[in-house]
A and B are shown apart, each in its own frame.
Chain A
Amino acid sequence: MSNIDYLILFGTLILIVFYGVYKTRGVQSMDSYLRGGDDTKWWAIGLSIMATQASAITFLSTPGQAYTDGMRFVQFYFGLPLAMILISIFFLPLYYRLKVYTAYEYLESRFDLKTRMLAALIFLIQRGLAAGITIYAPSIILSTLLNWDLRITNVIIGLAVIIYTVSGGTKAVTQTQKHQMAIMMVGMVVAGILVITSLPEGIGFIDALHVAGKMDRLNVVNFSFDLSDRYNFWSGITGAVFLFMSYFGTDQSQVQRYLTGRSLKESRMGLMMNGLLKVPMQFVILFIGAMVFVFYQFSPPPIFFNSTVREQIRQTDKGRDFRKLEEDYTQKFETKRLAVEGLVSAVNSGNQNEIDQARLKLNGLQMESDQIRERARQVIREGIPNAETNDKDYIFMHFVMNTLPVGIIGLLFAVIFSAAMSSTSSELNALGSTTTIDIYKRRLNSGKTDKHYLGTSKLFTLIWGIIAIVFASTLSLFENLIQAVNLIGSLFYPIVLGIFVVAFFFKSIKSNAVFFGAIIGQVAIGIIHYLNIQGTAGIFTMGFLWYNAMGCLLVIIISYLIQIIRNLGVRNNHFTKS
């Protein structure tokens, strides 16, 4: 990376931190610190919600997802607008009426303290682990790309976020997220334009679309129903609705964003904005990935996109095998490029028979090329047993660093760092708030002054920030923790949503029933997951997305049954006594 790129990257990061601290220097009360002074406009809420959800992995991983698997991932977001509507109708008015700081406060007024504590603790465990991952996941990729020490990258992201989040709380998070989101949008639009203009002469935009489409990279919508298929139309509009309702309706890192609104209307409009823009935004990011795929049909891609691992394997005793595979891959690329040009000619000729034949030939060559890549991954696994052999997250930034002009590279690194900072700041802000309001103020030390709780909120935010950095720095010792923490989210989210759904819609169900219903539901989801893992051995296979619907329904049904049994018990006691 050139000095100009570094200047743009660090200039952006420093400006964001200073802006966040400067704009919120007058924050002196708990209300201002935790609810942002209740004066945020709808468009700022919308941007803040989107920036919280858009982590660095969104920009690193999503284009790579389209490169390897096509654009079908966009279907995952089809449930989001529906979830926004349901939250606007059912969740928001209650939060506003009770003037809560955290989502879990509502559960005490509806049920009791233990149900509130259960939901708050689930959030703290899950989000506390996720905050470490939000820093670690981009750090490991950025440190490889920039040749920085992993711990230094963790500290740069973590410290920058801690400075303005501890200083200005929710207001600082919202203020900085406006600018971070602007950087992300500008960066992705520029990247989208440049990837299309980087295509070779003679290959137009429509030609690129035909190449991507005929090589299954524009597979945006699939109406086939398949439980084991993670991304299709049906899982998107059913399972994903539950996931997004849990995330946006009950996860404090999101709830805190829209509770900063000056009115219910502003908060609802913010959610509507997210519902309107999120699907097109994901489409654009995936589309960039599909165009990068077309670019690498005309320009030779590396056999493995992580250059550090590539260099390492060349130094091992498997280096010879790897180099041989690299040669085979390059040869296959040349043959494939001729086939791609043949397909473009066939499309331009308009002869369907010719198109079908060219397509068949090209996809056969692509399969052979993928097989060579898979063999290279196998060689890496044998030569470096601890190496991460999934290079999907490196594809987009490899393209950026090797193709795009000076200045734009710095801008796109600023996009990635901004995304990492925006999601981490919301997480730390929410963790600090929940610890202060639901645990410290409610259980440990009530009746103190506003100033005291403001100080403890800042302290807890700082502590969570330090925990996140330390956790991120030790994660390299436990590679599979990333998968474990993602899984924890899928396992716990539906249970919390189930508690909220019972609270809203099943007035006859009381606190003990929902509390034990949630615990039994949690155990049941654990068992289902165990059987699902065994599914590879033949029991059954199910996409994780379905857990969200299943867990929520289980909590509702079990709570309802417990309440019926309790009611019968009370009635029997009544008859016995009378």
Chain B
Amino acid sequence: MSEFDNNSPDKDDLPPFFKSWNGAYLFLMANLTFLIMLFYLFTRFFE
């Protein structure tokens, strides 16, 4: 990932709230993991 970030034409163009794009991507994956866990608990609780 970092290799591609360094090659990008806007390497100083960082996302808000994060020190790097990798941080933003990790946040997105963490959010997805959280949602899947939440949905799983939701499914199991009401079934």
Chain A interface (Cβ < 8 Å from any Cβ of B): 74, 78, 81-82, 84-85, 88-90, 93, 96-97, 209-210, 212-214, 216, 218-223, 233, 263-265, 268-269, 272, 275-276, 279-280, 283
> Are A89 and B4 in touch, CB under 8 angstroms?
yes
> Are B40 and A81 in touch, CB under 8 angstroms?
no
* Nearest CB of A to B39, in Å: 4
Contacts of B4 in A (CB 8 A): 89-90, 93
Nearest 7 Cβ contacts at the A-B interface:
A213-B46, A265-B13, A220-B39, A93-B8, A264-B10, A221-B40, A85-B25
Contacts of B21 in A (CB 8 A): 88-89, 268
Chain B interface (Cβ < 8 Å from any Cβ of A): 1, 4-5, 7-10, 13-16, 21, 24-25, 28-29, 31-32, 35-36, 39-40, 42-43, 45-47
Q: Which listed residue (B8, B9, B28, B36) contacts A272, Cβ 8 A? A: B28
> Are B32 and A210 in touch, CB under 8 angstroms?
no
Contacts of B15 in A (CB 8 A): 265, 268-269, 272
> Are B28 and A280 in touch, CB under 8 angstroms?
no
Can you list 8 pairs linking A and B with CB atoms under 8 Å apart?
A84-B28, A88-B25, A89-B4, A218-B47, A221-B43, A272-B15, A275-B28, A279-B32
Q: How far is A216 from B46 in the complex, measured between Cα atoms in Å?
A: 9
> Are B47 and A78 in touch, CB under 8 angstroms?
no
Q: Which listed residue (A93, A209, A269, A283) contacts B39, Cβ 8 A? A: A283
Q: How far is A276 from B26 in the complex, measured between Cα atoms in Å?
A: 12
* Nearest CB of A to B4, in Å: 5
Q: How far is A210 from B45 in the complex, measured between Cα atoms in Å?
A: 9
> Are A210 and B46 in touch, CB under 8 angstroms?
yes
Contacts of A264 in B (CB 8 A): 8-10, 13
Contacts of A214 in B (CB 8 A): 46-47
> Are A81 and B32 in touch, CB under 8 angstroms?
yes
Contacts of B35 in A (CB 8 A): 279-280, 283
Q: How far is A88 from B5 in the complex, measured between Cα atoms in Å?
A: 10
Q: How far is A82 from B14 in the complex, measured between Cα atoms in Å?
A: 19
* Nearest CB of B to A167, in Å: 32
Contacts of A263 in B (CB 8 A): 10, 13
Q: How far is A220 from B46 in the complex, measured between Cα atoms in Å?
A: 11
Contacts of B1 in A (CB 8 A): 89
> Are A213 and B47 in touch, CB under 8 angstroms?
yes
Q: How far is A88 from B45 in the complex, measured between Cα atoms in Å?
A: 36
> Are A216 and B47 in touch, CB under 8 angstroms?
yes
Contacts of B29 in A (CB 8 A): 81-82, 85
Contacts A85-B25, A272-B24 known; 7 new A-B pairs at CB < 8 A: A85-B28, A93-B9, A97-B9, A209-B46, A210-B46, A216-B47, A275-B28
Contacts of B43 in A (CB 8 A): 213, 218-222
Contacts of A90 in B (CB 8 A): 4
Q: How far is A312 from B23 in the complex, measured between Cα atoms in Å?
A: 59
Chain B CB count within 10 A is highest, among A84, A89, A219, A233, for A89
Contacts of A218 in B (CB 8 A): 42-43, 46-47
* Nearest CB of A to B9, in Å: 5
Q: How far is A279 from B32 in the complex, measured between Cα atoms in Å?
A: 8
**Residue of A whose beta carbon sits closest to that of B35:** A279
Known A88-B25, A269-B15: A220·B9 in contact at CB below 8 Å = no
* Nearest CB of B to A281, in Å: 12
Contacts of A81 in B (CB 8 A): 28-29, 31-32
Chain A CB count within 10 A is highest, among B7, B29, B31, B47, for B47
* Nearest CB of A to B13, in Å: 4
Contacts of A212 in B (CB 8 A): 46
Q: How far is A210 from B42 in the complex, measured between Cα atoms in Å?
A: 11
* Nearest CB of A to B36, in Å: 6
**Residue of A whose beta carbon sits closest to that of B4:** A89
**Residue of B whose beta carbon sits closest to that of A223:** B40
* Nearest CB of A to B12, in Å: 9
Q: How far is A346 from B32 in the complex, measured between Cα atoms in Å?
A: 35
Q: Which listed residue (B8, B32, B36) contacts A221, Cβ 8 A? A: B36
Contacts of B28 in A (CB 8 A): 81, 84-85, 272, 275-276
> Are A265 and B36 in touch, CB under 8 angstroms?
no
Contacts of A85 in B (CB 8 A): 25, 28-29
Contacts of A74 in B (CB 8 A): 39
Q: How far is A234 from B9 in the complex, measured between Cα atoms in Å?
A: 35
Q: How far is A126 from B22 in the complex, measured between Cα atoms in Å?
A: 34
